[in-house]
Structure 1
Amino acid sequence: MDILFVALLSAVLVFKSAETKCDDQPLICWHTDSPFPLTPPVESCYGEGLCKCTNETADCSSSFGNLTFVPNLNRSYQYLNLSNNNLTNISHRHFFANASKDVRVIDLYNNGLTFIAEGVFKGLEKLGSLLLGGSNLLGYKDIPSLLVIPSLRNLSMSCLKLGDVPEDTFLGVTHSQLRYLDLSWNCIGSLNMSVFKPLRKLKTISLWRNEIYELATAHMPSWETLDLPTNRLYDFPRTCADYNTSLFPNLKALSLDQNMIHGIDDPVCLPKVKVLSVSYNHFLYFRTNTFRTDRFPNLQIFQIMQMENKIYGVSPFFINNSAVAQITFVLNNIDFSMDYAHPDMFGGCTGVTFLNLRGNTFQYVTDDKFHRLLKPMERSLNILSLSGTQLTHISPNMFSRLKHITELYLYENSLFSIPDGVFDNIGPMWKLILDDNMIETISETTFGVELRSRLKDVNLGGNPYHCSCEILWFQQWMRSNPTIFRDFHTRGYRCANVRNVTVPDFVLNPQACILGSNAASLTIAISCVLLFFLILFIVYFRFRWHARLCLYEVCRSRRRRSRTRRFKYDVFVSYAEEDVNWVLDELLPVLEGELGLRLCIHQRDFLPGKQIVDNIADCVTDSERVVLVFSPHFARSQWCQFELKYCQSFVMERDDVMVLVALQETQSRDMTGAMLAVLQTTTYIEWEDGQDARQSFWARLRLALDE
């Protein structure tokens, strides 16, 4: 009965106003519909629809003034719903005389109650749960008279605008059998837990959605569940007494969602906590050992959802708890490819069977980092959710190490395709959810035969399927196994390219697919041949000067010069036509006029009527040194590039010295590969304006030519 009461109360709280504040405005505590499950057959059992009944429930709610008493229904029931009526005053002790003696739950929410007579519930010997919320004239003064009900186990006084709990509220009720107390949706700001000490058998207390900013804990050995979501706590509650003994030795579930907690400091003494939720708080960093085993030795279910601020770091081993079986780490907007998300964050979590990472980012996570993230739980993980993580592709090896997955959730991503066989080696997997992606087709090789035989629950709906010949196999699989395919979002398996047609209903002549396949093969073959010749032409055009040089060297017979022979020229100068003025006005006067060297420059020394290629070859052969004048014009000149290649070849054969002059700055993107290669292996002399710069240039050039 306790479990059922909590479930019913949760249904009530879902409908409460999110804007409830401690002011003078009336509170709307729940929806006018009944929260109780009315199982068929449902029949009107009093008046014209004032009450609806089943075998277990009498629902007389939402009459809004038309029902001011408990009607005699002449039947037995366990749940009596009188919420949203006008029962403002229960002053007569026989008020519930007409109620069934078997009633176990009475709901009096939203009745504007101002007074409840003492002893009014005395005749209801089985009454175990009482809901009194939504009446701001009730208060702590009414609690003692309620707690004397011998059978009462669950009491809800939520949504009553109750302030701080007075110290004497529960004094004198030490014999109360109360197990569950709900004080949620009130206005408690400062709370000393010692006020609840008289309730010796209390196991669960809900303080959800108050304004608690100051919390003094106390020794509560009977408590098993503590709910403190949606308050204003800045610090994790104190859980240790002197000598690090626990204030909550039997606490099993702790919820601190939607507070302002930013960290957890030592010491922590929660030896039996199995469920911990710290979602919607203000953690900026999750540091190493925050939830380690000695703090939470029995922690099994761990929830961290949607921090209220950006998370700047997740350290290695931040949980480090081998007892944890379920981790919900969702909607935190963590980009797992970034350095602040350490690949060993789940280190020490060797017993995890359920991992939900929905609402984070895995788009650029490499296989190596993914494998390292999940390595601690490879042997235990059964259920994995990567839904809504912006995945655009799955690599063939992404799930190769997860041998024990039974359920895999990848919905609401941007996957365009599924690699063949990517799920085949995931041992016992029977459930695969891939709806709401961008998948266009499913082929026979996408899922192996063995995997298809294991799958019992598959959702591939909500994808933009391209209905053509390629979709026919998938269509046949769906038709032959209709029970395993589901679509959670009711959008079905629709053809994106054919309006108002689903994949199962798509019709296409199989003969047309066979003909189309042959034509496609021929087209592919012809395209490959054309592509080959196109690539061959591009390569030849790109390296045509290299080929011309090689052909010339092979066809032209010549003798190698010896190191002792006399050369016709001292220096061969290779330069672009646009740089001739610098050669004639600067270089030639110094090298020939001052140093007495004999230069070979093509305007003056190439023989007329002779092939340019032969002129270049003969002049390079007859020159002792080579000077290359690099500039943007040099990079664009085909003949300069030919001379460069030819000079490189002769320098390598003769071990000659090639001197490189940088006349003008040339961007690397504008240089040819040969120029870049020379610059990376040869020290060059840079020409600059200015008297000192020129003196340095001529001195370095003279030194280079004298070697």
Structure 2
Amino acid sequence: MGPLTNIFVFAWIFMFTLWNNIHLTVANEFIANYSSSLLTSVPKNILVDTRVLDLSHNRISELSIFDFMSLSDLQVLNLSHNVITELDFNVFMFNQDLEYLDLSHNNILKVYCQTVARLRYLDLSFNEFVALPICQEFGTMFHLEYLGLSATMIQRSDFRYITHLQLHTVFLTLQDFSRYDPQSLTALNTRSLHIVFAANQNFSFFLLFDGMSTSENLKISNIRYTLSYKDFPSPSLEFLKKIKTTALTFDNVDLQWGIIFQIFLLIWYSPVEYWTVKNLTFRGSVGKLTEYEYLFLLSFQEQPVHWGGSMKALTVEHARNKVYYFDQAILYRQFSEMNIENLTIYDAYMPHMLCPNRTSSFQYLNFSHNALTDELFQNCVTLTDLKSLILQRNKFKSLSKVSFMTSHMKSLKYLDMSSNLLQHDGAEEHCQWADSLADLDLSFNQLTESVFECLPVNIKILDLQNNQIASVPKGIAELKSLRELNLASNRLTDLPGCSAFPALAALNIEANSILTPSADFLQSCQRVGELQAGRNPFKCSCELRAFIRLEKQSGGKLSGWPEAYVCQYPEDLRGTQLKDFHLSELSCNTTLLLVAALLLTLVLVAVVAFLCVYFDALWYVRMIWQWTQTKRRAWHSYPKEQENILQFHAFISYSERDSLWVKNELIPNLEKGEGCVQLCQHERNFVPGKSIVENIINCIEKSYKSIFVLSPNFVQSEWCHYELYFAHHKLFSENSNSLILILLEPIPPYVIPARYHKLKALMAKRTYLEWPKERSKHALFWANLRAAISINLPMSFEANEE
């Protein structure tokens, strides 16, 4: 559509330039904002350097020359929405830099004029003026570009002082309007004119005619006419030649349909190129048409609008019908046969539109927010020049029918079908799109992954956001031209591959259900330059590292990074941005982890093996096994009550090389004489048929004490070590003091093998008896030994021994 210039464009550009920060507080040295402060007068403490002053929406009723005397740098002053009743421009005589002055929405009745030389924007609209407040001094404001006025009557002479001014915009508010002299407005020299009537008052057709003869851009608000359209004044052909308006806007229109059609015909044959009608209400008589209405409607039907006229674009927004009686097909036919490029009918509850009877000049059609269905433009072959078709927020259901609708639109490049009820059954429906279609919007529908079986082959931009797509199927037809794909707010659980989209450059998959994007995307979608993947419920785990690495390597490939990329799982990481999530290479690389675990295991095995060898662990294991087996056999062989009965005072453990000393010295001195001691000796007390280990264990357990004759020969004997081990086990298991160590000969520490650590510990911690070499000390030795063995055996065993 061509550039329809709004009546307030200049005002807003000017405000943006000079008043960009109007809402800053008084703390700013150049801007003072006292808006909505319940003021009844201008404050006295305004900084002298203030350039922008906002006093709007207060209760200020009068202005004084002293109010602004000190503000010599003031450029922008907003006094709108107050209760000022009189205006004397002399109050601004010291504000020579003032360029913007807004006094709208007050109660001003009188104006006392004074030139404000640099004023560019002056708004006196929505006040209580009877006549237009245009003074002779206004004619000297050569910089004036925007002028807002209000009055209840307009006369031809009202504009005589400003006819020479080149204005950009004139804004007229005509509250309680009572009089207008025809051709008064034509004295104005302005590019844009905006006229606002009272909402409850009939507008003037002459103001419409004169407004179209005055400015290029015309906007009229509150167009209401309650009289019969029979009174509609038909303009002369001379009037049509004087029309200057090329861009026309009607806002808040409430008319009988007959008047609307007459205005339409007037504008159609005028030089107007861009016509916008907003908030349109059709009215008509209830019941059947009168004869006059019928004849008018018949003439309208017989006078199609496909020929003549300068109009390029027609826009109708927010149209409503209020009980009228006529065939709507007439209206649809007039719209469809228009010889214009752009047609917009927005929010009009329109259920249908006819296909043009002849090749149409439409290049842009916008029928958004209506009630159109799948039957629209089916088999229509006359829209060959159409380039853009917008049908969002209607009631389309079949994607296949939509495709066939476009099949004859040879020039169609853009189609918007968003916010409908579209579905597609891939198994039963076929599609045939226009070959020229390059941009397709199917967002906010009910489409599933089957939609990829019904897409234009030459599509370049595809919007599928807010549908029900769970995946991008593999093996679909290749879309070689697709550059942009929007799959946001669907049900995707992984990034789609790009095997079917070789030219894809931009992908949007925001707000889906993607936990851990796969690494396949990084390989198949290397040409994607922009990826939007934020607002997904990311699971921060090892699988996510490749995706995070993508951002580091691409340098800005992920749009919205890092704010939109946040961990959702696991619970302890929820809310953590992906850029702050880190895992070590070892914890995520399975191969490296296995190698590390294997090396650690090997080291552990080596350490254990070394310790086992060093401490002779196998020997101890073997001893534990032997002891366990012996205990098990003893448990089954003897009654339980006999197990713990002592039979001997002591068991003697010695090396065979020390047997002479044992037999000649130890045994004779302990077993004979007073207080004889019962000794267990392997040569006489071991039971034939039992294993040596079993005999050793039995003797140790049936003896109160265990005597170990230590010498260098003892530590060299394997069986002596067994006996020491079992005796030491009894020491701890029964918590008894049953060991007696006799050092027959000194034992150098280096002679004791490493595995004899128990012997070393016993010799270091326990007191032992040393065999004296002097004969005189032997008696004391035997006395001490007997004392150490001293115990009374059970009587039954003593009797048996005797």
* TM-score, normalised with respect to structure 1: 0.56
The answer on 1:321 being equivalent to 2:383 is: yes
The answer on 1:254 being equivalent to 2:295 is: no
Cα shift readout 1:55-77 (whole Å, capped 9, x = no counterpart) = 99846353523694664642385
- Equivalent of residue 94 in structure 1, options 135, 141, 146: 135
Please say if residues 7 and 193 of structure 2, whose CA atoms lie closer than 8 Å, have aligned partners that are also in contact. no
Which residue in the other structure is 1:602 paired with? none
- Equivalent of residue 358 in structure 2, options 287, 290, 294: 294
The answer on 1:226 being equivalent to 2:280 is: no
- Aligned partners of 2:182 and 2:566: how far apart in 1? 59
- Equivalent of residue 78 in structure 2, options 34, 43, 60: 60
The answer on 1:414 being equivalent to 2:414 is: no
* Residue 224 (structure 1) shift: 0.5
Q: Alpha carbon RMSD of aligned pairs, Å?
A: 4.7
* Residue 124 (structure 1) shift: 6.8
The answer on 1:330 being equivalent to 2:392 is: yes
Please say if residues 153 and 180 of structure 2, whose CA atoms lie closer than 8 Å, have aligned partners that are also in contact. no
Cα shift readout 1:363-412 (whole Å, capped 9, x = no counterpart) = 545388585346562476443333334434433456x4544344333333
Which residue in the other structure is 1:281 paired with? 348
- Aligned partners of 2:553 and 2:250: how far apart in 1? 53
- Equivalent of residue 152 in structure 1, options 165, 171, 190: 190
Which residue type is aligned with residue 444 of structure 1? Answer: A
SS of 2:343's partner is strand
Which residue type is aligned with residue 256 of structure 1? Answer: V
Question: Which runs of 5 or more structure 1 residues have no equivalent in the other structure?
Answer: 13-32, 520-707
The answer on 1:137 being equivalent to 2:176 is: yes
- Aligned partners of 2:564 and 2:298: how far apart in 1? 51
- Aligned partners of 1:324 and 1:466: how far apart in 2? 47
Question: Which runs of 5 or more structure 2 residues have no equivalent in the other structure?
Answer: 23-29, 32-49, 57-67, 109-126, 285-296, 322-327, 438-455, 595-802
- Aligned partners of 1:417 and 1:153: how far apart in 2? 56
* Residue 179 (structure 1) shift: 1.4
- Aligned partners of 2:536 and 2:299: how far apart in 1? 50
Which residue in the other structure is 1:460 paired with? 533
* Residue 484 (structure 1) shift: 4.5
* Residue 274 (structure 1) shift: 2.1
Cα shift readout 1:109-155 (whole Å, capped 9, x = no counterpart) = xxx7556781376177121212234x633477388433311x21211
SS of 2:567's partner is coil
Which residue in the other structure is 2:159 paired with? 119
Which residue type is aligned with residue 204 of structure 1? Answer: A
Cα shift readout 1:594-626 (whole Å, capped 9, x = no counterpart) = xxxxxxxxxxxxxxxxxxxxxxxxxxxxxxxxx
Name which one, 1 or 2, has greater alpha-carbon Rg. 2
Which residue type is aligned with residue 105 of structure 1? Answer: Y
Cα distance change of structure 1 residues 226 and 49 upon mapping to structure 2, 3 Å threshold: closer
Please say if residues 107 and 132 of structure 1, whose CA atoms lie closer than 8 Å, have aligned partners that are also in contact. yes
- Aligned partners of 1:477 and 1:138: how far apart in 2? 68
- Aligned partners of 2:168 and 2:520: how far apart in 1? 59
The answer on 1:347 being equivalent to 2:407 is: yes
- Equivalent of residue 436 in structure 1, options 499, 503, 511: 511
Please say if residues 410 and 436 of structure 2, whose CA atoms lie closer than 8 Å, have aligned partners that are also in contact. yes
Q: Among the aligned pairs, what percent are the same residue?
A: 15
Please say if residues 407 and 430 of structure 1, whose CA atoms lie closer than 8 Å, have aligned partners that are also in contact. yes
Cα distance change of structure 1 residues 505 and 168 upon mapping to structure 2, 3 Å threshold: same
Choose 206-215 or 361-370, whichever is displaced more: 361-370
Please say if residues 147 and 176 of structure 1, whose CA atoms lie closer than 8 Å, have aligned partners that are also in contact. yes
The answer on 1:493 being equivalent to 2:538 is: no
- Equivalent of residue 394 in structure 1, options 464, 472, 487: 472
- Aligned partners of 1:142 and 1:482: how far apart in 2? 69
* Residue 277 (structure 1) shift: 1.3
Name whichever structure is richer in helix by fraction: 2
The answer on 1:181 being equivalent to 2:218 is: yes
Which residue in the other structure is 1:207 paired with? 250
Please say if residues 56 and 76 of structure 1, whose CA atoms lie closer than 8 Å, have aligned partners that are also in contact. yes
SS of 2:546's partner is helix
Please say if residues 319 and 348 of structure 1, whose CA atoms lie closer than 8 Å, have aligned partners that are also in contact. yes
Please say if residues 92 and 120 of structure 1, whose CA atoms lie closer than 8 Å, have aligned partners that are also in contact. no
Cα shift readout 1:464-486 (whole Å, capped 9, x = no counterpart) = 22222222222222234454543
Which residue in the other structure is 2:582 paired with? 507
Which residue in the other structure is 1:23 paired with? none
Cα distance change of structure 1 residues 373 and 265 upon mapping to structure 2, 3 Å threshold: same
Cα shift readout 1:219-276 (whole Å, capped 9, x = no counterpart) = 52301112123323499x9998977564662211111233258656446686652221
- Aligned partners of 2:15 and 2:299: how far apart in 1? 36
- Aligned partners of 2:464 and 2:98: how far apart in 1? 50
Cα distance change of structure 1 residues 180 and 174 upon mapping to structure 2, 3 Å threshold: closer
The answer on 1:311 being equivalent to 2:373 is: yes
Please say if residues 354 and 381 of structure 1, whose CA atoms lie closer than 8 Å, have aligned partners that are also in contact. no
Cα distance change of structure 1 residues 211 and 148 upon mapping to structure 2, 3 Å threshold: same
Please say if residues 284 and 313 of structure 1, whose CA atoms lie closer than 8 Å, have aligned partners that are also in contact. no
Which residue type is aligned with residue 386 of structure 1? Answer: L
Which residue in the other structure is 1:6 paired with? 6
- Aligned partners of 1:105 and 1:122: how far apart in 2? 12
- Aligned partners of 1:403 and 1:178: how far apart in 2? 51
Cα shift readout 1:278-322 (whole Å, capped 9, x = no counterpart) = 222233346xxx35583631x222212222x47364463458523
User: Where do residues 345-384 of structure 1 align in structure 2 (5 Å cutoff)?
Assistant: 345-362=405-422, 364-366=424-426, 372-373=432-433, 377=437, 378=456, 381-384=459-462
SS of 1:419's partner is coil
Cα distance change of structure 1 residues 121 and 4 upon mapping to structure 2, 3 Å threshold: farther
Cα shift readout 1:173-203 (whole Å, capped 9, x = no counterpart) = 5994411221234435687695584751111
Which residue in the other structure is 2:548 paired with? 475
* TM-score, normalised with respect to structure 2: 0.50
**How many residues are treated as equivalent by the alignment?**
476
Which residue in the other structure is 1:104 paired with? 145
Please say if residues 495 and 518 of structure 2, whose CA atoms lie closer than 8 Å, have aligned partners that are also in contact. no
